[in-house]
Structures are given as structure tokens and as C-alpha cells.
Structure 1
Amino acid sequence: MFNSLSGRFLILTIAFVMLAEIMIFVPSIARFREDYLLDRLERAQIASLALLADGIVNEGLETELLENAGVYNVVLRRDAMRQLILSSPIPTPISNTFDLRDPPASQLIRDALDRLLTKKPEIVRVIGSPTRDAGLLIEVTMDAMPLREAMLDYGLRILVLSALISALTASLLFFAVRRMMVTPIRNVVAHMKNYAEAPEDARRIISPTATVRELRDAEVALQTMQTDLTSALRQKERLAQLGGAVAKVSHDLRNILTTAQLFADMLERSDDPRVKRSAPKLVGSISRAVNLCEGTLAFGKAEEPPPKLDRHPLHTLVEDTLESERMAGGESLVTLINDVPPGFVIRCDAEQVLRIVGNLVRNARQAIEVTGAAGQVRVKATESETDWNLIICDTGPGLPPKARENLFKPFQGSFRKGGIGLGLVIASELVRGHGGNLRLVSSDESGTVFAVDLPKDAATPRNSTS
């Protein structure tokens, strides 16, 4: 119970109420002491006035008056004279004198606490002003022990009452907070657990019912999050099903296209001039279709294998990639240029770097070919103390806004009609596997520039940015 919110709230409530009662208790006990002493002064004044009115009093009556007043002596000052009105033997000398004529509150509190802490018997003198202007001053001597006993009795009753008030207040607050806060919070937690069992079930999404504004805001936020998550899970499930279907189709289609590619190669050896002119275009189209199927199948894998790092000449890797793209491009007007220095060596997985450069160069070449104009794709390389930097720049039309927004999202970042938007996604995953970063440097009407940053110490992976 004490580990729960309501249990801790109950304990804190009792503690704070008791603290407030204690803060009230100290002035209350001081006030009780003052009233007690003033009552003794008033009784002594009444006894002295009775004596003054009669003029004669025997010893028995005097003793009775003093016992009724609870004092030993009564001194009354009327006019300029100080007169001992009533007296009896004092058992011990007077130890303290207290003046109740307009004392400060701090003095009353200090005297009250001293009286509670003093256990030995004492005789004290109390000075006050007579009521109804019956004189200038009244002074009595009295035993302090009855005062202490009365203060203890009063304090005990106050503490018991405070404890009852604390318990009642804490109980009321406990049940109020439990009903208004703890129960709604538990309901939210129960909704969350219920939703977690089957997040794809839209019926389990919470419906805000709280009347407290903060709790309702929390329920609305939870409802929004659950709605978005359920939609995302459904979309993910559909994409997974679609991916499985596409992978199967791509696998079979790749086999068919491979066979078609063999027949196209045979057509290239035909003596018919028209066939010779058409065969390269047919071969190029079939090659692109094969690459498209292979790209889809590669993306459909659960994950890319970790790179096998070794030192490789980057110039050779880039040249092999460009040569393949030149063959795939056929009579394309796009010029592919290798500006990587011949002696430039990097530590990488050669096969994966071929795929990275191939995807980026292919995207650039196809973007220029769409315009029907001549252009260039240039591959350069630089290095710093921490990174090798591979730069692919082209003179194409630049990426459209939609392609930039979805640059590294599968099936969404394609810049040309018929594209599936996997080239950059695959390249980005391969670069991240090297601990590097694929980023878009610039893209406008003068061309597009991508940069691949491969760390010389590939221990810390980075995120692709645009």
C-alpha cells in the first residue's frame, strides 16, 4: 500500500495535518497558560474586593478565599498604595515573576514551554491589571504545579483531537484522490495493457472519458498515439505482404528476363541491319529489367551481410562500375567520368562499394537520360584525417521536391516514372554498414551532388541525411 500513489498521499496528508496541528498547538498552549493565570488573578481580585467590602475577615474565611482563588497571597494596589489584602504561609521562596500586563507573544510561548518542561515544584509571582479598573495592579503568589498539570491535560486533549482530525482529513482526501486521480490513472494503465496485447485491434484504442483536464489530455494523447501505431502496424503488414509478393514475382521475372537476355545476345549476331540496330536497345532494356528485379530482391532480404573490410584501390572499383553503366547505357548521351586518383586506397567491402557507386551513378545517368539532353556524371574522391569522401555529381535537372522529402524511404523516393525508389535506400543501408553516411549535398537546375563519407575508423555508425 505504501508503494502506491494513494498510500503515499495518505501518509503525506497525515504528516502535514499533524505538522499544522503542532504549529497550532504551541500558541494554543501559551494562550491556555495565559488564560489560566488571568483566571487566578480575577479570582484573587474578587476575593480581595469581598474583603474590602466587609472590612473584617476571620482566619478561616481568609483561608477559604485563598483556596478558592488558588493562590497564597493577594496584593492590590489602589491609588498609590500597595496593600497586602490576603496572605497565607508560602512553603518555598518565589522562583519566578511573570508580568501579564501586555506581554509579547514570544514571551508567552517561551514561558509556556518552560513551564511544560519544568517538573519540580515552584512558587511563582503573577502580576496583572485588575478588571473593570478596580485598581492599578494586582499581584498574587501561587503554586506552579497545578498550572503544569492543567497544561498537560489540555495539551493531551488537543493532541488527541488533532490526531482524530488528521485521520479524518487524510481519509477523506485519500478516498477523494483515489476516486478523482488514482482510479482514472489505473484505468489508463489497464487500457494500455489491453492495447499492448493486440495493438492491431482498433477496438482496443482508448476512448477519452476523464473529466479532469490533465487526465483527459493524457487520454487524448494516448488515443492519438495508439491510432497512429495501429495504422502503422496495418501499413507495415500490408507492405510485408506486398514485399513477399513482389519478391516472388521478381524472382520468377528475373529468371524469365535472363532467358530473354540470352536470346537478345543471339540477335546481336544477326546479319539483318535492322536487327543489329534494335538488338542493343533490347539488350539494354532487358538488362535494366534484370537490375530492377535484383534490386527488389536485395531490398527484400532481412538485412545486408556485414561488410568484409579490406584495403582496395577506389579508382579501379569506380572504373569497373562506370564500365558496367556505359555498357548498360548503350548509345546514351551521358558521359561517365572517373576522377578518382589512381593511387587512392580505402578500407571497404569491394562488392558493397560497387553496389553503392553503381546505384548512385545509375540514378544520375537515368535522371539525365529522362531529359533527352547530353550530360555528365563525375565521380571524385577526397580524404580528411577521419574520413574518405566519395562524391558523385551530375549535370542533370536536379531532384524534384517530393523526391527530396522521401529521399531514403523505400518505394517513395523515385525521381522518374517507373522507378521503385530502392537505389538510394540500398546504398544508404550499405554505407551505414560501413559506419558511414550518405548525404545529399545539393540539388538544383545545375545538377545534383551526393557524398559518401566512409570513416577511417568505422566503429561508430552514422545516420543518412539530406
Structure 2
Amino acid sequence: MDLESHRFIGYFEPEQAQKLCQLALVEDHPDGDLIFEEGEIPDYLYLVLKGRVEFSKRAEGDRYQVVTVAEPNSFFGEFGVLDGQPRSARAIAKGGATLAKVSRDHLMTILRDARGEVVLQLFSYITRQLRVTTTQYVKQMVRKQKMELLGEMVNTILHDFRSPFTGIQLSSSMIRELHPDEETQEWCDLISMQIQRMLGMAEEVLEFSRGSTTLSRRRVDVREMLERFENLNRVYFQSCGIEWKIDIREEIYIRADSNKILRVLQNLVGNAIEALEDREGHVTITAQIRDNWCEISIQDDGPGIPEMIQDHLFDAFVTYGKQGGTGLGTAIAKSIVEAHGGAIGFESNPAAGTTFWIRLPLSHDDPIRDEIVEEVRLV
């Protein structure tokens, strides 16, 4: 949007509005650019013309807690300009932003000459924004407390479960040695894989609560990954009466942590099966190359996602109609996909069911390239 049509400029009479536009400095800020730091002495009011600006407060060490976000046609920094106190949060451009800034001295001069109605409109808007920001901040703090509690609980569960899981693994190994036939070997392999999978799922929740994860990326054959997923879930699908299909017609390679992508698929397919409500249904996974991405879609013919939660489906602790549901499955899936530099979304309606899609970067690397292990921050 242009400066002249901004909400803030519209509060003033034509002569004052024109003067503000002449005095304002328009600047482009790349993604991640620091606009001002928490505790700085305020010198400008900022008008958002394009992009987004994220505000956060220092929490622990070098970590920050997001407070709110400013969108186009909004403005920020007004409290510091009005009372002269240090900035209460830091501001960072997200995805690139275009801002117009007006110096404190210029703005105060114009406000002194403004009509009372103009000042009242400004303060009315500022009060509404303060209410919104306070509500968002409270939600963020409640979420933070929930995540801390979740982390403590999962850590305790992992500690308590390792001993019986070890016993199951040892028993499986003993059965393998006593019965070398092929069928027994396959069942023992499945037991071992499922134990590792359960531990991995618990670790995933723990990492999500901490806000970071370790990715062990390598070149992954998508067909082999999906066949492994089917092998791990064959008994589960049969017990649920689900017709299962994998549709992949070309060679596709991605650079990813295959175990974590498998957990994303597990969360999404698990949701699809639960949506079928113990009735016979169909689940199809399709993988294809689209626009230089690997796109994996999970389609079911269930009743669709309730409209009331669609806008917040990927938020933590959002669930609907599931007994014992934590509301973390899709939130964890989104964090893992985005940690890989990918994207996730869905389409849903009661008549056609739901289709989730995941886009992941393709790998064109030499297949013998070493595995890359890195710590990634989860958003």
C-alpha cells in the first residue's frame, strides 16, 4: 500500500496528512532485519506499508518470546514516542517489510496542533491494539507454560518407559534366536522397529516442547520411505479395516531426516483413520514432483475437518472430537516440515474428505554424500 492511504495518515486533516507524508522516511527491511531492540530509547513511529513485523521479549538466555505481529496498515512504536520510555520489545522484519517512519519530534509537533477529535481517534485505536496485544501475550505465556509442563511429563514418561522397552527388546531378541524361521524373524523385526518408533515419537514431543530438534539429513528415496511406512503400519491398517494405497510413478529423492518425515506421515495418516470413525474407508498416499518440489499428499474419504478449527489446525493444543487427543499431531508435523525448508497444507470438505499435502526440497546430490546432522529451531 502507499503511504497516503495508510490508516494513520487518514486520521489527520489534509494539510497535516500531507506534511506527515513529506516528513516520513520510507525504508525497505529484508527478512530478519532488526528494526529496534528491546530497551532502546524511542525516536520514531513506524507505519507498516508492506510485509510483517514481529515483536518479542527476551525470555531466557538468548531466547525470545513472541508477543505480537504488526501487519500492513498498522503502526507501532507509539508508546515510546508518546512517553519517551525505552522500547518494551524488539522488532524484527519477517519476510521483508516496507516501513515509513516519522521522527518523535516531528510527530509531537503535529499532534500539538491537531484537533481534539484526531487525538481521540488515535487513542481509541491505540487502546484497541493494546487490548489485542495483551490478549496475544497472555495466550503466548499460557502456551509456554503448557509446553514446559508437557516437556516435564514426556521426560518422566521416557525415563519410566526405557526399562520395560529394553525388556521387550531383549525378549524379542531371545525369540529370534530360538525360532529362526522367516515369519518369526519378520515379527521380531516389527517389534523392534515399533519400540524404536514409540521412543522416537516421545522424543519428538520432547523436542517440540523445547523448541528445537536435531535433523540427520541424507539423500532419501521416497518410494523406499513410503514402503517402509506401509510395512510399519500394515497390521494397524488391517485391524482398522482401511484400504491403503501408495501411488508413486517416478523416482523421487529428497534430502531429509527420513525418521522424522515418517512421523509426520504417521500423525497425518493417524488423523485420517480416526476421522473415518471405525468404518471402512480409503487412505491414499501420492508422491510426485511438482514445481521442483517433492509433493506428498495423504487423501482420505472421511467426513472432513470441522470448519471451526480449520484456521487453527496447525496450532498446538487444537483438537476436536477426539477422546484423549492432545492437539499436538499437526503442530509437530508442521514444525518438522518447516524445519526441512518445506511447507504443509490441506483441503477439506464433508463431501470429498480431506487431503493433506507436504512439499519438501528435492535432492540432486551425489547419493554417496555424507549425512548432515544439524540443530534446527522449531517455530
3-state SS of the aligned residue for 1:193?
Answer: coil
Partner of 2:324: 418
Name the SS of the counterpart of 1:356 in structure 2.
Answer: helix
**Deviation digits for residues 7-53 of structure 1, max 9, x if unmatched?**
xx9xx9xxxxxxxxxxxxxxxxxxxxxxxxxxxxxxxxxxxxxxxxx
Aligned position for 2:343: 437
Q: 1:422, CA displacement in angstroms?
A: 1.6
What's the C-alpha RMSD, in Å, of the aligned pairs?
4.0
Check whether the contact 1:299–1:422 (CA below 8 A) recurs between aligned residues: no
**Counterpart residue number, 2:377:** none
Give the partner amino acid of 2:213.
E
What amino acid is the match of 1:301?
R
Question: What SS class does the counterpart of residue 262 from structure 2 fall into?
Answer: helix
1:237 is the counterpart of 2:141: yes
Q: Distance in 2 between matches of 1:393 and 1:385?
A: 20
Alpha-carbon spacing, 1:262–1:457, altered in 2? closer, same or farther (3 Å): closer
- Return the letter of the residue paired with 1:298: E
The equivalent position to 2:240 in structure 1, one of 332, 336, 344, is 332
- Indicate the structure (1 or 2) with the bigger Cα radius of gyration: 1
From 200, 205, 215, the equivalent of 1:296 is: 205
* Residue type of the alignment partner of 1:420: T
Conserved 8 A contact 1:402-1:413: no
Cross-structure match for 1:193: 85
Code of the aligned partner of 1:405: D
Q: Give the letter aligned to residue 213 of structure 1.
A: E
Once the 2 structures are TM-superposed, how far is the Cα of residue 246 of structure 1 from its aligned partner?
1.7
3-state SS of 2:240 partner = coil
* Counterpart-to-counterpart distance in 1, 2:237 and 2:161: 18
| Structure-2 change in CA distance of 1:219 and 1:328 (3 Å) | same
Unaligned 5+ segments in structure 2 are 1-15, 20-76, 90-113, 176-193, 365-379
Distance 1:228 1:253 in 2: 37
- 1:350 aligned residue (258, 264, 277): 258
Per the TM alignment, residue 248 of structure 1 is displaced from its structure 2 partner at its CA by 0.7
Q: What are the equivalent positions in structure 2 for 1:361-376 lying under 5 Å apart?
A: 361-368=269-276, 371-376=277-282
Does the Cα contact within 8 Å between 1:314 and 1:346 map onto a contact in 2?
Answer: yes
Displacement, 1:433? 2.6
Deviation at 1:450, TM superposition (A): 1.0
Q: Secondary structure at the match of 1:215?
A: helix
Structure 1 pair 329/296, CA: closer, same or farther in 2 (3 Å)? farther
2:223–2:251 CA contact under 8 A, matched in 1: yes
**One-letter code aligned to 2:302:** G
Distance 1:442 1:328 in 2: 24
Letter of the structure 2 residue corresponding to residue 315 of structure 1: R
CA distance in structure 2 between the partners assigned to 1:329 and 1:259 by the alignment: 29
Report whether the alignment pairs 1:255 with 2:159.
yes
State how 1:377-396 maps to structure 2 within 5 Å: 377-396=283-302
User: Aligned with 1:406: secondary structure?
Assistant: coil
Deviation at 1:316? Answer: 0.9
Q: Matched residue of 1:339: which SS?
A: strand
AA at the equivalent of 2:288 = T
Q: Say if 1:418 and 1:372 are closer, same or farther in 2 by CA, change over 3 A.
A: same
CA contact (8 A) 1:382 1:388 kept: yes
Change (3 A) 1:329 1:248: farther
Amino acid at match of 1:302: G
Pairs aligned (count):
247
Asked whether the 8 Å contact 2:80–2:87 carries over to 1, the reply is no
Shift of 1:355: 2.5
Residue 321 of structure 1 aligns with which residue? 229
Deviation at 1:413, TM superposition (A): 4.2
The structure that is helix-richer by fraction is 1
Answering whether residue 292 of structure 2 is matched by residue 400 of structure 1, we say no
Shift of the 312–292 alpha-carbon distance from structure 1 to 2, 3 Å rule, reads closer
Residue 438 of structure 1 deviates from its aligned partner by 0.8
Deviation at 1:373, TM superposition (A): 0.8
Q: Is 253-262 or 315-324 further displaced after alignment?
A: 253-262
TM-score by length of 2: 0.54
Structure having the larger proportion of residues in strand: 2
Read off the aligned partner of 2:145 and give its amino acid letter: Q
Between the aligned residues of both structures, percent identity stands at 22
Structure-2 separation of matches of 1:196 and 1:419: 37
The answer to whether the Cα contact below 8 Å between 1:390 and 1:452 also exists between their aligned partners in 2 is: yes
Deviation per residue, 1:178-217 (Å, 9 max, x gap): xxxxxxx9998344737838xxxxxxxxxxxx98111111
- Give the drift of 1:260: 5.1
Counterpart residue identity of residue 314, structure 2 = F
CA distance in structure 2 between the aligned counterparts of 1:394 and 1:383, rounded to whole angstroms: 21
Query: Which of the residues 197, 213, 217 maps onto 2:121?
Result: 217
Contact 1:406 1:413 in 2 (8 A): no
Partner of 1:52: none
1:128 corresponds to:
none
